[in-house]
Amino acid sequence: MKHILVCGAGGFIGSHLVTRLKNVPAQDNYVVGVDIKQPEYINDADEFHILDLTNQHAVDDFFLRNAFDEVYQLAADMGGADYIFTGDNDLEIMTRSMQINLNVIDAVRAYNVPKIFYSSSACVYSEDKQLDKNNIDCRESAAYPANPDSEYGWEKLFSERLYQNLHKHTNTQVRIARFHNIFGPSSEYDSGREKAPAALCRKVALCPTGGSIDVYGSGEQVRSFMFISDCLDCVEDLMLSGYFAPVNIGSDFTISINDLAKKIIAISGKSITINNIDVPQTGVVARTSDNELFDRMVGTPRKVGLPDGLEKLYRWVANQVNGFTS
């Protein structure tokens, strides 16, 4: 039996990852989840513990009492544009996430954990290489010279280097993925930290036909979005591969935020207009996942396209907010 720890198991990707690890064919995995909050929608862990990963003594004591074959480190202080780009939360984002990663790395070293996965982010990429939607450079090598557009991205980039040195100087095998806008059901949709697809689904679900929804910025900013099950397929295959440098996990299909909203409106069947709001926290002009390296080194096929994924997400969000709609 393989004993696995998922840090950040109370979050969207972490809770889905626990379920996936519990259902790997021909494997008998015992999965332990930890977070500072209980999972809100999914909890398939064999054990779930409330654990503040910024507390070094608590983390060390937890690893002292539990032996693990693999650790998946997804815990971080993060959120959507409202949380990351205002500047109000920069100190908390950097210090809390850094404390988490230092504590996890120290424990993995001290207790000789054989393998760890670290979830980095597309936010590591330089702002100046994402200003033209016709010339986006998000190749893994394009992260340097470094110039992320947020403190969240700076912390992720530094933590990548911590994990790379863990791989280089210890016997722990490390895998690092730069996630690009993962979305799907059982994600935050009204907390103030939700990502664009869930936020737009909520707005559309709550909006009566004939009404309008607000979209931050011009709406012409471009992104790519990957459905959660495809993301987990890629993580599973990356862990089985021999590739240990940071690598993108995401979709290379780009769409503007306005067009994303229009697709969700079409799914709803309502007649809704878009009201673009001039706000500063819209992020870079254009970002997409460059998958050439991942496809060459790992090669996981993607199965769920954006339309199908949005349909699944909208139906789930609409069901969640249904009690609040007229």
- Amino acid symbol at 185: P
C-beta neighbour count of 177 within 10 angstroms: 23
Which helix (DSSP H) or strand (DSSP E) does residue 168 occupy? helix 151-169
Of the residues 72, 152, 163, 314, which is catalytic? 152
Cis peptide bond prior to 145, omega within 30° of 0? yes
41 in catalytic set: no
Angle subtended by helix axes 306-321 and 196-206, to nearest 10:
50
Measured between alpha carbons, how far is 137 from 157 in angstroms, rounded to an integer?
16
Measured between alpha carbons, how far is 308 from 43 in angstroms, rounded to an integer?
24
Measured between alpha carbons, how far is 178 from 100 in angstroms, rounded to an integer?
18
C-beta neighbour count of 115 within 10 angstroms: 18
One DSSP character per residue, 226-263 reads EEHHHHHHHHHHHHHSS--S-EEES---EEEHHHHHHH
Measured between alpha carbons, how far is 76 from 54 in angstroms, rounded to an integer?
10
- Residue 244 bridge partners (DSSP): none
Q: CB–CB of 267/318 below 8 Å?
A: no
Closest CA to 145 of 119, 127, 132: 127
Burial of 326 (0-12, 13-18, 19+ CB in 10 A): exposed
Pairing of strands 254-256, 222-224: antiparallel
Give me the active site residues, please. Answer: 152
